Structure 1
Amino acid sequence: MRKTNKVFHLAIPCKELNETVEFYEKLGCKLARRYDDRVTFDFFGDQVVCHLSPNNIDTKPKMYPRHYGITFLEKEEYDSALEFAIQEQLPFFKDPMVRFEGKQEEHMTFFLIDPANNLLEFKYYHDSSMAY
């Protein structure tokens, strides 16, 4: 299990810094650092670095295999995140859905898409043992 003294780090491409900052701040992420070629965010307690790389943007993103996000352990937090995304009119890649219905790994999920076509998944498992 993860100790609280560790932070997961993810680096992704972005096509333009200002729109990237606007999206992630609107999502509720705190801008930690900004340089001429990248921005770093506190992404729900972990670190996401968006590197300016306009020639490396996925023009036809697909949910699988490349996405990242948050798995909520409390349904209320998932519900709040979904309501927030709707209220803030964040761009959905896939509307909320239930995956693996009726199975132990059943979960609720929705996907957002950032300005560089990076896909973000937010999900909640009814059986918390399936979170890993």
Structure 2
Amino acid sequence: MRETNKVFHLAIPCKDLDETVDFYEKLGCKLARRYDDRVTFDFFGDQVVCHLSPNNIDENPKMYPRHYGVTFLNREEYEQALEYAIAEKLPFYTEPMVRFKGKQEEHMTFFLIDPANNLLEFKYYHDSSMVY
């Protein structure tokens, strides 16, 4: 189990720092640091660093195999994140859906796409034992 003294770190490309800050702040992430070539966010308690790298943007992103996001352990928090994304008019890559319906690993999920075509998944498992 994760201890509170550890923070996951993820570095991803971005094409424009201003639009990146706008997207992630609308998502509810706190801007921690900004430099000429990158921005760092508190992404739901973890660290996401968006490096200015306009030549490394995936022009045709696909959900699999590359995306990242948050798995909520509380359904209300998942629903709040979904409501917030809708209210902020964040771009959805896929609409909210239920995956693996009727199976133990059934979960609610939606994908957003950031300005650099990075895909973000937000999900909630009905059976918390399926989180890992």
Percent identity of paired positions between Structure 1 and Structure 2: 86
SS of 2:6's equivalent? Answer: coil
Aligned to 2:126: 126
TM (norm. structure 1) is 0.99
Aligned to 2:71: 71
Cα separation, 1, equivalents of 2:94 and 2:9: 25
Q: Is 1:100 aligned to residue 83 of structure 2?
A: no
Q: Is 1:18 aligned to residue 8 of structure 2?
A: no
Cα separation, 2, equivalents of 1:48 and 1:25: 12
Q: How many residues align structurally?
A: 132
SS of 1:62's equivalent? Answer: coil
Structure 1 residue 86, shift from structure 2 partner: 0.5
Cα separation, 2, equivalents of 1:123 and 1:54: 29
Structure 1 residue 108, shift from structure 2 partner: 0.2
Cα separation, 2, equivalents of 1:30 and 1:125: 26
Structure 1 residue 84, shift from structure 2 partner: 0.6
Specify the code of the residue in structure 2 equivalent to 1:29.
C
Specify the code of the residue in structure 1 equivalent to 2:64.
Y
The within-5 A match list for 1:43-58 is 43-58=43-58
TM (norm. structure 2) is 0.99
Runs of 4+ in 1 over 6 A off after TM superposition: none
Cα separation, 2, equivalents of 1:2 and 1:111: 24
Cα separation, 2, equivalents of 1:34 and 1:87: 26
Structure 1 unaligned segments of length 5 or more: list them.
none
CA deviation digits over 1:92-113, x for unaligned, max 9? 0000000001100000000000
SS of 1:81's equivalent? Answer: helix
SS of 1:24's equivalent? Answer: helix
SS of 1:78's equivalent? Answer: helix
Structure 1 residue 34, shift from structure 2 partner: 0.4
Aligned to 1:114: 114
**RMSD over aligned Cα atoms:** 0.4
